[in-house]
Amino acid sequence: MKIGLTVHASRPQSREFARSLFDLLTARGHEVMGDDSIRLLIGRPVIDGNPEVMLAVGGDGTMLQAAHRSLALDIPVLGFNQGTVGFLAEAGISDLERVVEALDSGRLTERQRITIAARINGESPAMAGINDVVVEKIQSQRLVFLDVMIDGEDFLTYRADGLVAATPTGSTAYNFSAGGPLVAPEVEALLLSPVAAHSLFDRTLALGPDSKIRIRVSSDRPVRVSVDGIELGFLGQGNFVDIEKGDRMARFLTLYDHGFPTTVKTKFRLS
């Protein structure tokens, strides 16, 4: 099998684990693929090419990076967690041999999740994300005024620090920090959560997967738009960003076939 590799660049233990992973995969006859940066990072002869599966070694940030690459290639991804919470990277370091054996035997379970996409002022192409689209203030001491339209109908003007439009996958990220709910990743929905709203209505909206969200800046205070933490651009007064479900599903592999409540309980150490 052709297996791509994404590794946390600044974490020594991730580089060391990636070497062990490479050695075990190649000993089993797999081809390990990566670019020059991976080759230099782990000191192993990875090769160029299009992988069939992507493996990530690091935390959720590394897993998100790998998931973006996998989304572009339309291949599944699995992560080894060396971070803190690790909602996206499900396998542990002790699962190394178990994961490789499951790859050999085809026993990994694939789960597909919806993605999110954003475009500024109707420009193409849209930028796709796994977690969220964030519209946030630039000037720290000033609120922004954001007009929200849903499916062509005016909804509300938010006076807030910003808005987070998230997928269920991203419900455990910024959306959760903003007071939004945790949503099982198999649910198809878009969540819209205000950040520090100065209004009576500060609840999250759970919208259908085909909903179209437009956020327009109605004040003279500019905002920044990012997709999964990657800057998309800036909006001035009268500018807008359109947000909707992405065209392609993200594909995740899992070693453990347990439910979302168990994941939440484990990751938050609730028992």
The residues that are catalytic are 60
Q: Are 127 and 227 in contact (CB under 8 A)?
A: yes
SS3 labels along 79-109: EEECCCCCCCCCECHHHHHHHHHHHHHCCCE
The C-alpha atoms of residue 76 and residue 106 are separated, in whole angstroms, by 13
Determine whether 222 is exposed, middle or buried from the number of CB atoms within 10 Å of its CB (0-12, 13-18, 19+). middle
Q: Are 253 and 95 in contact (CB under 8 A)?
A: no
Q: How far apart are the first and last CA of the chain?
A: 38
Q: Are 56 and 63 in contact (CB under 8 A)?
A: yes
The upper half-sphere exposure of residue 170, i.e. CA atoms within 13 Å in the direction of its Cβ, equals 31
Q: Which of 170, 173, 178 is nearest to 204 (CA)?
A: 178
Q: Are 241 and 147 in contact (CB under 8 A)?
A: no
Strand 2-7 and strand 190-195: pairing?
unpaired
